[in-house]
């Protein structure tokens, strides 16, 4: 039996929650303020979950949370807040609250939250009995921004709230999501990833929420969806800024109530999933423009994490390059031991528009072209160390073809067009560190067009 302490200065609310949670089989105690709660906690050592209001006198919820985290760090605290107290709720998450619930709330929502907290508490105890430790993922880097992010990940490891990771393409947002997952109480659960910008709205909804047999043409059997597959784990929702409005509404419902409806289904299903979202867009700008729901933004950005671009982490470039070199040298079976001083200087001087993804691409190329010893700058950057290999001038090949046609020579026009298109797409991908979104922008085409061309040309 799990013991729950309800702390609120409203007697009616305390009584309602006590009755509801007792019906679920929990042992429930109540307190009217923070000081009374501390006295109970000091006497009752078996309390595992605390439901705590934020606004109380003389000790408010944040002060109580701080005391609990200091004196009884294993207890999981769920904060109850009014909608106007969003900033305070976010602060509570950063101080180590397990999660929060907005008032007024549905009793089913409270029960589901307590159930998840109980499961997390039991998981922690089981791991401790087995002598297991969390398999944390550490971010490579010593700059203050990265160290602050690593510390934040450790601080929020016991929370169950959503995280919004922002930053330019290629800065390592998925790595942050993995670090959050493996440092959390869900570390032994699945981590599932989906790119929101790579699918049409209807297909994305089917992938996220699943569908039932016969719901649309081609739905020959039930499909569980990623929320079901990520049960008791983490769902990494990449490029969340690309979500269509109707998908935003459905995602908000999952985050608020833990409920969703499969495409074509009639039975509501529940999700015990932590969402980590990522975007390279300015979501607040989209909110002001009406392209992104404000309520969804605040639900996603409970714990915001911003990754700086690589050009602002010059001191980390050599460290990251060495880490990537070691990984690729083992995979490609090369006796590469490091970089020449010129190569390291070129790495530091390069602006890295594609960030770590571009750096990884360069290091992989350097390792592949070096049998042993040190990687040269020319191997990484071609004839212009510290700069990307320039795109070949279009005039040279075009003038030669024109001369051949004028001379009456037969050419393969479609083949030449395909070769030229391939060169331009390859150059754009190299220029952006293999980032499709950025490469599409460079070429002046849409994301779907470049995705089609990459497949058509056999580049992926």
Fold annotation for 310-381: Helicase, Ruva Protein; domain 3 (1.10.8)
Ordered by start, the domain boundaries in the chain are 3-129, 144-306, 310-381, 394-456
Segments of 67-158 assigned E as strands: 76-82, 99-103
Sign of the alpha-carbon torsion through 115, 296, 247, 149: negative
The answer to whether 143 and 317 are in contact (CB under 8 A) is no
The answer to whether 181 and 233 are in contact (CB under 8 A) is yes
d(CA 82, CA 86): 8
Look at the block and give the residue holding tokens 């699918």.
Answer: 199
**In this structure, what DSSP letter does residue 375 have?**
E
Phi and psi at 405, nearest 5°, equal -65, -40
The answer to whether 363 and 325 are in contact (CB under 8 A) is yes
The answer to whether 121 and 48 are in contact (CB under 8 A) is yes
**CATH: 1.10.10, 1.10.3470, 1.10.150, 1.10.357. Which one for 394-456?**
1.10.10
User: Which pLDDT score is estimated for 401?
Assistant: 66
d(CA 164, CA 148): 16
State the distance between the two ends of the chain, measured CA to CA, in whole angstroms: 54
pLDDT in tens, the chain (460 residues): 789 999 999 999 999 999 999 998 899 999 999 999 999 999 887 899 999 998 888 888 889 999 998 888 888 898 888 755 666 776 777 777 888 887 878 788 788 888 878 877 776 676 666 655 545 566 888 888 988 898 888 777 778 889 999 999 899 999 999 989 988 888 888 999 999 887 888 889 889 998 888 777 777 788 888 999 999 899 999 999 999 999 999 999 898 888 888 888 888 888 889 999 999 999 999 999 999 999 899 889 988 999 999 999 998 998 899 989 988 888 888 888 889 999 999 999 999 988 999 999 899 989 999 988 999 999 998 744 444 433 334 444 556 667 667 766 666 777 777 778 888 888 888 888 778 888 888 887 887 788 878 877 777 7
The answer to whether 271 and 259 are in contact (CB under 8 A) is yes
- Neighbouring CB atoms inside 10 A of 451's CB total 17
d(CA 221, CA 3): 42
CATH top class, domain 144-306 = alpha beta
Phi and psi at 78, nearest 5°, equal -110, 120
The answer to whether 5 and 37 are in contact (CB under 8 A) is yes
CATH top class, domain 3-129 = alpha beta
User: Which pLDDT score is estimated for 132?
Assistant: 54
Phi and psi at 273, nearest 5°, equal -135, 135
Q: Determine how β-strand 259-260 pairs with β-strand 269-270.
A: antiparallel
Radius of gyration of the chain (CA): 27
Q: Is 118 helix (H, G, I), strand (E, B) or coil?
A: helix
Is 394-456 in the same CATH topology as 310-381?
no
Per the DSSP assignment, residues forming a β-bridge with 137 are none
Its pTM stands at 0.67
Residue 300 tokens read as 């996603």
d(CA 444, CA 441): 5
């Amino acid at each position: 039996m799990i013991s729950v302490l309800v702390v609120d200065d409203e007697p009616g609310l305390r009584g309602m929650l006590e009755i509801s949670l007792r019906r679920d089989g929990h042992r429930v105690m109540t307190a009217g303020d923070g000081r009374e709660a501390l006295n109970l906690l000091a006497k009752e050592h078996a309390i595992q979950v605390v439901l705590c209001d934020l606004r109380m006198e003389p000790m408010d919820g944040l002060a109580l949370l701080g005391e609990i985290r200091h004196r009884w760090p294993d207890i999981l605290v769920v904060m109850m807040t009014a909608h106007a107290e969003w900033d305070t709720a976010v602060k509570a998450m950063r101080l180590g609250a397990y999660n929060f619930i907005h008032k007024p709330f549905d009793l089913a929502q409270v029960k589901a939250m307590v159930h998840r907290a109980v499961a997390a508490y039991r998981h922690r105890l089981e791991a401790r009995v087995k002598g297991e430790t969390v398999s944390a993922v550490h971010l490579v880097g010593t700059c203050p921004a990265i160290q602050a992010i690593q510390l934040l990940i450790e601080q929020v490891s016991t929370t169950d709230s959503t995280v919004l990771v922002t930053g330019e393409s290629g800065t390592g947002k998925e790595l942050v999501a993995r670090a959050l997952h493996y440092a959390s109480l869900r570390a032994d659960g699945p981590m599932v990833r989906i790119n929101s910008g790579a699918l049409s709205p209807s297909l994305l909804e089917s992938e996220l929420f699943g569908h039932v047999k016969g719901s649309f043409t081609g739905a020959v059997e039930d499909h569980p969806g990623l929320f079901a597959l990520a049960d008791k784990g983490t769902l990494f929702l990449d490029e969340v800024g690309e979500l269509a409005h109707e998908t935003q509404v459905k995602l908000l419902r999952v985050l608020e109530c833990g409920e969703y409806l499969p495409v074509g289904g009639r039975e509501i299903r529940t999700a015990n999933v932590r969402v980590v979202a990522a975007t390279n867009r300015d979501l607040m700008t989209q909110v002001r423009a009406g392209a992104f729901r404000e309520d969804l933004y605040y639900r996603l950005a409970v714990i915001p994490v911003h990754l700086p671009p690589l050009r602002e982490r010059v001191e980390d470039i050599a460290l990251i390059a060495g880490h990537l070199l070691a990984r690729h040298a083992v995979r490609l079976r090369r006796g590469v031991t490091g970089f020449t001083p010129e190569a390291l200087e070129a790495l530091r001087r390069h602006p890295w528009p594609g960030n770590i993804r571009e750096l990884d691409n360069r290091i992989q190329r350097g390792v592949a072209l070096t049998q042993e010893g040190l990687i040269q700058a020319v191997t990484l950057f071609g004839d212009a160390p510290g700069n990307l290999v320039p795109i070949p001038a279009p005039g040279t090949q075009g003038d030669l073809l024109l001369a051949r046609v004028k001379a009456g020579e037969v050419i393969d026009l479609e083949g030449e067009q395909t070769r030229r298109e391939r060169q331009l797409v390859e150059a754009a991908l190299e220029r952006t560190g293999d980032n499709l979104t950025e490469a599409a922008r460079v070429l002046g085409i849409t994301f779907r067009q470049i995705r089609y061309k990459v497949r058509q040309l056999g580049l992926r």
